[in-house]
A and B are shown apart, each in its own frame.
Chain A
Amino acid sequence: MRRDSGLAARLWAICIWTLVGFFVINLAAMIASVVVNSFGTRWFATWLPSGYTGRWYALAWNEFQLPAILIVTVEVVGAVVLLSGLIGVPAAYAMARRDFPGKRAVLLLFLLPLLVPPITYGIPLATVLYQAGFAGNISGVIMANLVPTIPFVVLIMIPFVEQIDPRVEAAARVFGAGITRLFVTVLVPLLMPGVLAALMLVLVRTIAMFELTFLTAGPTSQTLVVALYYAVFAAGVRPGQSVDAMAVVYMVTTMAALLVALRFVNPTQIVTRGKR
């Protein structure tokens, strides 16, 4: 199709690209100012700090008890990824292969936790978890984080399962494979790309999941993002640079996970909840 090449159309295109450029520049400057501040010694009325140092990282490492927080984060994220894979993938398989009564209701059940924002259902959830004695320690944090991730895995995996020809499974069955054997030797290898994509997205989302972790975490079960929130919240107590050092540690963790994830998924998938 021939594009319009009039002056108005050109101006319009320039307008839009300027807008996008403006957004990207501000985004980059925002991230850069955090990084620069975390390395700066003193930064008052100048464009850049007067000197650079790494001591804010040492300070943040000790003051915010970063090693403990990082261990908790790895534990929570690992458990959430593992459990949502173990529960979500078989559920997606059943949803894709069987047409049972009430399937639409089950699908709606899996859609709702993705549509309702976490803070809305997080408060009643935290109430229940506190009364059951789970919240305040790491088990409650893991349970709360499973609420959005299991449905997420199910909804992403359904189309992946549907792509696999049922005759492949039928052949395995004919040769005497039971359901466990079928899963381990036929389905899991075939589904691996989808499973990796889904679990990578769960990884990225769980590292950044603030609300649910915040509402259910106790002092010893904070993940990185919640610790960052408290650091910013009590900003007057500690030097701003060490809060920014903490922010950089969080940013590096998230970006590393994102980089790995982007090897398996398309950026738009992070937003469109598995719709492809």
Chain B
Amino acid sequence: MSVPELAQSGVPQRASHHVPLRVRLKQRGLDGVTLLVLPGVFVVLALFVYPFLYGLLLSFAPKEGGWLKNYAAFFADPFLYGTIFTTLLIAVPATLVNVLVSIPVALRVRLMYRQRLLTTILVIPITLGTVLVAEGLLTYLGPRGWLNRVLIGIGLIDHPVLLIHNYWGVFLSLVITGFPFTFLLTLSYVTGIDPSLEQAGAMLGARARERFWRVLLPLLVPGLTITLALSFVQAFSVFPSAVLLGAPSGPTRVISIAAYQAAFEQYDYSMASAIAMIMAACQVVIVVLLLAARGLFYKGPASTGKG
């Protein structure tokens, strides 16, 4: 039995100034076991927090000019600041499509008895990752690919539609890897809602549509906010598919490409850090806006009293 537990179980304790430091620390939860957390904390501090702070400082120390030179240069050059809008133009529609489709599908799949087959199939594109999906879509969506053949075969189009090396290639790759992600997240939130709440709604005479709008959706809002935030942040940091499937010098020159080029083609690490910080700031702004919007909706438990 450890010392804090002894203290709780009513064994009389001496006044703290007589107690050795070791025991006092242990009472506050600091002992040998607590030290086990240190290696993990050290790695995250050294390889995540320190580089981030270093990058932040580096972004204010440009190769030449004043301390804000990098940021001024970014927002003065349409080739650079335009990447924010380019990225938003890809990330926002892709996120909305993924989340809006995920909700009805998750609500339907929740009623299935054997979900595992479907969830296993859907986890495949996430596991394969964006690079493989990009290569697959290059073959599949290309002018001689199966999709165009089918569309021509059923007479929907006369000439192959261009779906690669433009906006649509990147958009579709974000749907292929993004939809399973949002769907599986949404499903985990949907299954967390106690079915008896919906049953109560049904018993009181609410039809399916009303049950969705007045019972399920308000309970889903917290989870949906997190889903929206996570999938937006992922879509906003799209990189390999924007290079491989898109037009990386034009319509799909996303912000991560700008950061990569600054770092590894111009070797201007200061500018690259500035762009990475701007990218992080954009993501933080959107996530904060989403969380603020979430505050406008219902807050409360999604389970009933007796857990």
Contacts and interface: CB of A to CB of B under 8 A. Distances in A.
* Interface residues of chain A: helix, strand, loop or mixed (majority): helix
Interface in A52-109: 87-88, 90-91, 93-95, 97-101, 103, 106, 109
A31 B271 CA distance: 39
A3 B101 CA distance: 21
Interface in A14-54: 16-17, 19-20, 23-24, 26-27, 29-31, 33-34, 37, 43-45, 47
B33 A272 contact: no
Q: Kindly state the interface size class of chain A when it binds its partner.
A: 35 or more
A24 B31 CA distance: 52
A159 interface: no
The residue among B51, B119, B234 with the most chain A CB atoms within 10 A of its own CB is B51
Contacts of A179: 32-33
Contact of A98 (B31, B123, B244): B31
A94 B49 CA distance: 21
A128 B133 contact: no
A124 B52 contact: yes
Contacts of B39: 87, 90-91
Contact of A100 (B28, B50, B132, B256): B28
Nearest to B237: A117
A204 B43 contact: no
Interface string B114-152: 001011111111111111111111111000111101000
A127 B275 CA distance: 13
B202 interface: yes
Nearest to A90: B36
B131 A232 contact: yes
A94 B55 contact: no
A94 B127 contact: no
Contact of A93 (B36, B43, B244): B36
Nearest to B229: A115
B266 to A, nearest CB: 13
B15 interface: no
Contact of B127 (A17, A44, A204): A204
* Interface residues of chain B: helix, strand, loop or mixed (majority): helix
A11 to B, nearest CB: 12
Contact of A121 (B33, B41, B51, B187): B51
A262 interface: yes
Given A30-B137, A208-B127, A232 B244 contact: yes
B11 interface: no
Contacts, number: 262
A251 B128 contact: yes
B43 A146 contact: yes
A131 to B, nearest CB: 9
A151 interface: yes
Q: Kindly state the interface size class of chain B when it binds its partner.
A: 35 or more
A27 to B, nearest CB: 6
Interface in A203-246: 204, 208-211, 214-215, 225, 228-229, 232-233, 235, 240, 243-244
B105 A30 contact: no
Nearest to B280: A120
Interface in A112-161: 112-113, 115-121, 123-129, 143-144, 146-147, 150-151, 154
B58 A127 contact: yes
A33 B146 contact: yes
Given A16-B105, A123-B259, A150-B40, A229 B131 contact: yes
Contacts of B137: 30
Contacts of B47: 125, 143-144, 146-147
Contact of A244 (B119, B135, B243): B135
A144 to B, nearest CB: 7
A181 to B, nearest CB: 13
B156 interface: no
B105 A19 contact: yes
Contacts of A90: 36-37, 39-40
B126 A270 contact: yes
A216 B149 CA distance: 40
A20 B54 contact: no
Contact of A124 (B51, B180, B256): B51
B289 interface: no
Contacts of A168: none
Contact of B239 (A16, A23, A211): A211
Nearest to B273: A124
A63 B181 CA distance: 35
A113 B256 contact: no
Closest 9 CB pairs of A and B: A124-B55, A91-B40, A117-B237, A90-B36, A208-B129, A100-B29, A267-B119, A94-B37, A30-B136
Interface of B: 1, 28-37, 39-41, 43-45, 47-52, 54-56, 58, 101, 104-105, 108-109, 111, 116, 118-140, 144-147, 149, 176, 179-181, 184-185, 187-188, 195, 198-199, 202, 207-208, 230, 233-234, 236-237, 239-240, 243-244, 256, 259-260, 263-264, 269, 272-273, 275-276, 279-280, 283
19 contacts: A27-B125, A88-B40, A91-B36, A97-B33, A98-B29, A116-B280, A117-B233, A120-B280, A121-B48, A121-B51, A124-B56, A128-B54, A225-B132, A232-B131, A251-B128, A255-B124, A267-B184, A268-B187, A271-B185
Given A90-B37, A127-B273, 11 more contacts: A2-B202, A27-B124, A30-B137, A91-B37, A97-B33, A98-B31, A124-B58, A127-B54, A143-B47, A208-B127, A209-B129
